[in-house]
A and B are shown apart, each in its own frame.
Chain A
Amino acid sequence: MSMHGMRGLSVFISEIRNCQNKEQERLRIDKELGNVRNRFKNEKGLTPYEKKKYVWKMLYIYMLGYDVDFGHMEAVSLISAPKYPEKQVGYIVTSCLLNENHDFLRLAINTVRNDIIGRNETFQCLALTMVGNIGGREFAESLAPDVQKLLLSSSCRPLVRKKAALCLLRLYRKNPDIVNVDGWADRMAQLLDERDLGVLTSSMSLLVALASNNHEVYWSCLPKCVKILERLARNQDVPQEYTYYGIPSPWLQVKTMRALQYFPTIEDPNTRRTLFEVLQRILMGTDVVKNVNKNNASHAVLFEALALVMHLDAEKEMMSQCVALLGKFIAVREPNIRYLGLENMTRMLMVTDVQEIIKRHQAQIITSLKDPDVSIRRRALDLLYGMCDVTNAKDIVEELLQYLSSADFTMREELSLKAAILAEKFAPDLSWYVDVILQLIDKAGDFISDDIWFRVVQFVTNNDDLQPYAAAKVKEYLDKSAVHETMVKVSAYILGEYSHLLARRPGCSPKEIFSLLHEKLPTVSTTTIPILLSAYAKILMHTQPPDQELQSQIWSIFNKYESCIDAEIQQRAVEYLALCQRGAALMDILAEMPKFPERKSSLIKRTEYSEGDTAEQSAIKLRAQQQTSNALVVTDQHPANGATSPVPVGQLSLVKVPSMITTENDTSTDHPLSQQNGALSNVDPQPPSADLLSDILGPLAIEGPPGATVQSEHNAVSGLEGGSDAADGSAIVPVDEQTNTVQPIGNIAERFHALCLKDSGVLYEDPYIQIGIKAEWRGHHGRLVLFLGNKNTAPLVSVQAIILPPAHLKVELSLVPDTIPPRAQVQCPLEVVNLRPSRDMAVLDFSYKFGTNMVNVKLRLPATLNKFLQPIQVPAEEFFSQWRSLSGPPLKLQEVIRGIRPMPLPEMANLLNSFRIMNCPGLDPNPNNLVASTTFYSESRPAMLCLVRIETDPADRTQLRMTLASGDPTLTFELKEFIKEQLISIPTAPRSPAPPAAQPTPQIPPNDPAAILAGLLS
């Protein structure tokens, strides 16, 4: 073999093995890499043997996890060596070290082609293998005809042809056009007449790939598949070497049945009958035997047959036969078969009418929940979750609760979420539901997401009968010695609202409830304290007649927190103290929370989403696709339930318990955050902080009927922005008009503008995909998460996301998977660092394939200038001294702007506020003027204060004079332009770049592609 005789290599490996620790290993490897690098530098003296040796060393080092960033050329050059040993090394190492886009690889295309069309069979095999492993688009274009020829050639040996088939498959994946659909279907059918099982196995893989994209063309292959399956199942004409532990090629059998699952149905009655006979034979003729390998092989075939039976929607009799088999499997000793039995039973749930039969196995499935193998426990959990309905919910949920205490940590979160959902979905009565959730919090508090306890609060609030029960229950839990913080939260909320309903019970006087809660305060974190403070205020309000002692106790607590460093706590303390002193007004303000609008549980929505990918498997894919889409897709297309983005659902649509609104934000971000609530501005145009109630009643009091939330949010946004126009849809730039036949849902430009104002929402949506975005901004850092949600029951493939960052942003996108499975959602974090002020925009170049549709869109990312601003309130003296010291251009710029969209001054102030530029009322004596300030954060400089003055003309609202000042000329210019764009262009004016010719724009490097693109887009 290649390394035979390579003493140097064996010695090197031995030395590495003898290294005592990682440090030694690294030193040895660095030395070797240095050595190899030197030898490659002076290539003249290098013999092919040495080159080969060094290239193997590189591969070995690479496998150990060390980056080898040189020598790629040497590896590729070995491909063209005339002798086999060097050539082989070249091909193998190249396929391991390089990826399909590597430039060196393109250089080798000609050599590779010569090997493929040459007469040396061994070279053909090497070349086909490499192309089959890493060939890219260019390979596809230049090699496809040659590879097809080899595959179809009658003079080629099977050894070459089977490789050619898989090579062609790879090339087809890289460029589907290389397979001419009409002509190829006949050839494909011809290939299936092949007698050689090796060629047949590869061809079947090729058919699976082709048919999964477009099964209609390949109808003629269907009867041939059935014939092949029959031949194998009856063991006719199968050479001995193709049987594996006595089973005729299980791989070919499995692949053939997989191929059949890509055809929706089999119409020809004869073919169908033959197939069912074969399947019947497989189902009945497979036994569990002693030999593990034989078992695995025969059951591979059996489970695939089961999947095919389910796919074909066989007669009821055959189905119940399948369920019976599965029932047998989940009880056998062999763990693999038990595992697959459970998994397939879960899939079986999608078939109608078998649920009742599956329920008979409930006891056995519950036993599997205690299996020593976590993989099996997971499958059992999935199955129990899937088979749960009103009749068995109580049993199953109680089983899950019991299991929770002993379950391993990796499963607890999923387990508790599933239990919570089942409890909600199938609760026979609500008090049972409350019991379950409280038990969950008690047993696995760390794993209970906020969603879960928000939901229980929602139920309790909406059901009067439930309130005393829930209050009494949480009190019981609080009486225990160790209480989880989540329990404190939910208890505080419920007791604050409803403990007065218990007042007559022993131990439930306001005072007792208060001290019960208050003794927990030292143990909780700052996110819980605000809820406790609210509870105190409510308890105090409910204490009739007033209890002076309690009152002074609670007031002193408020007093203490008035100077708390945490803004949320401080605000509450101040507000409650002020409220309490108003006496009677307190009653109205702190009255019981109104009922929540009925809406679908986001918990349920969330799992429906993920249910899609666990239950959905390729076998059932097509059929599911043919079924009319269920509620899931509908809910997600119309975010009428208050959800504006796919995953933030949790945060957005659930009961917005007030304290959750500001948890991690400091004072300075308070404003834009409340502003984001959107709906606020409808009710009260004043800055939110002026509204003492906003923080308690904020989202609740304002919420109308379910649909209205989103509506009002939209209004608020468009109110601020002035209603985006449809003409602006040009943000979508189809790269190639013909490929983009998919129409986006909603207006992309509108979505973008909305996202400039808020931090989460939908960036893009079309019938196949929804791209949501969620962002967090801290100074000059931004952390965005892209949520790529596949809305379909088929996968999206060739998914690519590339960020074209402008020069002023450092953007890092984590790996985006090539495929998004059906109904799945992928999260791709994105880090943004702002280097300099600029209005250029980062663009997301996103493409994917669905069926034959190639979709490519270029989307602006809302990493706009305003995201790096923090509002700041500047006291008058400071403002004026700064204003004076920034005396004139280029630090202070003034411009008269015409064509302004007329708006009242408060609206303009709101608009600025929404961009985090804070209005400073009272600084300018002229009521027609507006003064605002903000700070800008970038990596290159410390936070930079920016001051804005806008002078309006009451006689002509379409013009104004704006002056902008900051310590950085670029910032001054960019921010001025930015504000200007917001003021003028929104309603009708085309977004032509407005800056007057005189303004130099040196900040935009002319050769920056993103800048050019952004220019095109704006």
Chain B
Amino acid sequence: RDACAEPHQLSKGETIHTLKTESETLKAKLEEERAKLHDVELHQVAEKIEALGQFVMKTRRTLKGHGNKVLCMDWCRDKRRIVSSSQDGKVIVWDAYTTNKEHAVTMPCTWVMACAYAPSGCAVACGGLDNKCSVYPLSLDKNENLAAKKKSVAMHTNYLSSCSFTNSDMQILTSSGDGTCALWDVESGQLLQSFHGHSADVLSLNLAPSETGNTFVSGGCDKKANVWDMRSGQNVQSFETHESDINCVKYYPSGDAFATGSDDATCRLYDLRADREVAIYSKESIIFGASSVDFSLSGRLLFAGYNDYTINVWDVLKGTRVAILFGHENRVSTVRVSPDGTAFCSGSWDSTLRIWA
């Protein structure tokens, strides 16, 4: 499987120089082809649509309990439970309706940058500086020590930045500071597929909505967003228009596009069928990086958390900002809309999580 194990032969007439020239030519051709189809801007197509009214979105719940920076969170499919992870190694499962903590586990490492809820609601996965992704089955018995049943699934050679179950509890997709993504079988811990193509840390991944097939998108410190075929491991599309690290990638609900949040202080929308960037969400006054993005159910709103402690809400079609949400007292590190779209949750370096509706 590892192509690096074979000796590298040059074809007749090929030199490193000709390969580099061909590379440049192909890149230029790619840009030319993409530009030919760039006949209109998204916001122009959206001109005739009614503008969105005033938004009243407030913090409805504040989840306090982490002792340190919240780095990641995920919703359970039951639309009320949440798992969150923090810098001090704690992973907490909350009931967002009541704000009660249902489970808590302390990881053997700090900086737990990734956590995810299993589709069944019966387990959570997490990892970070331990370079692993571990799965903890959630026990109904509150007194049971969750750490005892821990299962190590993924092993990377650098920190775990993001993880996600696929459509079942049986497989997990991970991304890592080692520059790769990988698909793992939870039961056996076996590596099913690896995804090579980023040239620096991969910071985020997101699975396509299930109706649109077996692909996922990843973004990283090489400023690229890559779309992958899960079965073949092939990088099928690549986008490089950001000017700095891509911190977060999220599919548009139809699966035909995805949004990114970057250290260059912009969020962008890329359409997969047009194979190009189709919108930039930015303002001169926004100078801090966007750490996390998510769409509302219809895809009309994009919620983005920033390092300047705010959450900006964007009209995806018109490209304008419709609201700024204040409340967090430090960087917003994670933003996710609930499965039924009634609320979204934000996590912050101020050690709290907030539910907004």
Tell me whether A and B are bound partners. Answer: no
